[in-house]
Amino acid sequence: STWGLLYYSFSDNMLSLLNLLKNYNLARNFNTGRFINRLPLQIIKKKMSPIRIHFVYTQEYKQHSRAVENIRESILEKRPDLEFVDVIQKEAMDSISVNELRQARIVIGSPDAVLPNLELYNNLVWWQSTWDGFDIISNQFPDKLHHFNRFLFTRVGGPNGCGKDMAESVIGWIIANERNFRGILANQLQRKWVNRFYMVSSNGFRNINQLSITILGLGDIGQCLVDSLRGFNPKIYGIVSRERDEKYPGVSEYFTTENMIEAFSKSDYIINILPSTDQTRGLLSRSVLETCANKSPVFINIGRGDIVNELDIVEALDKQWLSTAILDVFATEPLPIDNPLWSHPKVIISPHSVCNNSRCHGVDVFLENLELFEAGKPLNYVVDNVYRGY
């Protein structure tokens, strides 16, 4: 219809105008992606029948994982009206694939698949990442960040992302540590029947409701952890970047990074979920770890490895500032075989595995966002400040 043609024309012209302003520097620091997310999306999205989704992934991912098929099948099961276009990222892209990237308006794909040719996505309106974090992009691909001004970027967040996986991993480790499952297994391997003295202390194990737990980072993943812990009724302290007027349900007290040592001094567990940014790298310094000596807490890191120096962890364990370190992330991954953490008796190493990537955990996030997109509403888990890293 005439209205439809005007509608589509306005859609393309709006994007062209925004990019023109950006290209000619007529709007300094203008973020097209943020602007788009604040407009009724009926104005800027082109309705397609069926809607075409470009699914971009690496050859390695295709060969070593069924996740590609799982994601496609799970989405099409709920939205059979969608048309999927597969594009495999290669070092040398063929002309057909290049043409598809130039036409793509909605993309699902991991950053390692999309970023190498990001400049080709001329018509991109929305990229749904299959990763939960953005900090790896901002740290490892700073030369690509300027492209993010011209489209929406959403990550996999919340309970339908990695939140539940990470929360359940943390609770599992707390229970395993409090009940000394490692000691029980060691006794089994030695065929020892020890029914009393496998406990962490002579007083027996502690239940979670007896624990004080500090969580660094109360974004959507941190809130998932709080929600999961709340049923066990521990005392929860939250570390945030700035003071908040309202408390998230289940958080007993907030601290900022300026006074977080007050929380550390009365914590049984310290759990890091923070991303890697200029503000968080090295945040848990040697002097900060030393303030933990009062209760010698367990340190669980499922955020990013560069929040702490690994040699400082070893010293903190040896000097009993920390009682145990349960680590899923590291400054260098894979962890080098000569790293002292491997052989330390108070360390548990998890190889960046708290999130189940073989399961298509991003499907529900994408489908929810697609409904919002079609309804012209703001999307969830938008990264609106790429230089901040989240």
74-78, 134-138, 205-209: least confident range: 134-138
Provide the 8-state DSSP code for 36: H
For range 13-40, the mean pLDDT: 49
Q: What is the pLDDT of residue 338?
A: 97
Higher pLDDT, residue 178 or 46: 178
The mean pLDDT value for 62-70 works out to: 75
Adjacent-strand bridge partners of 350: none
262 near 291, Cβ under 8 Å? no
> Would you mind telling me the total number of residues written for the chain in this entry?
390
Q: What digits encode the pLDDT tens for the residues 164-177? A: 999 999 999 999 99
- pLDDT tens per residue across span 319-351: 999 999 999 999 999 999 999 999 999 999 999
Residue matched to tokens 């920390």: 322
Top-confidence residue, 266 or 198: 266
pLDDT band for position 356 (50/70/90)? confident
When pLDDT is averaged across residues 205-231 and rounded to a whole number, the result is: 96
Q: How confident is the model at residue 27 (pLDDT cuts 50, 70, 90)?
A: very low
In this structure, what are the phi and psi dihedrals at residue 331, rounded to the nearest 5 degrees? Answer: -60, -40
Residue type at 354 in one-letter notation: V
pLDDT digits (tens, 9 = 90+) for 89-132: 988 899 999 999 999 999 999 999 999 999 999 999 999 999 88
pLDDT at 68: 83
In 3-state terms, what secondary structure has residue 62? helix
Q: What is the pLDDT of residues 92-103, one digit of tens each?
A: 899 999 999 999
Q: Residue 37 — very low, low, confident or very high, per pLDDT cuts 50/70/90?
A: low
Q: Is the predicted pLDDT of residue 70 greater than 70, yes or no?
A: yes
Q: How far is CA 16 from CA 54, 69, 149, 280, in A?
A: 21, 35, 13, 37
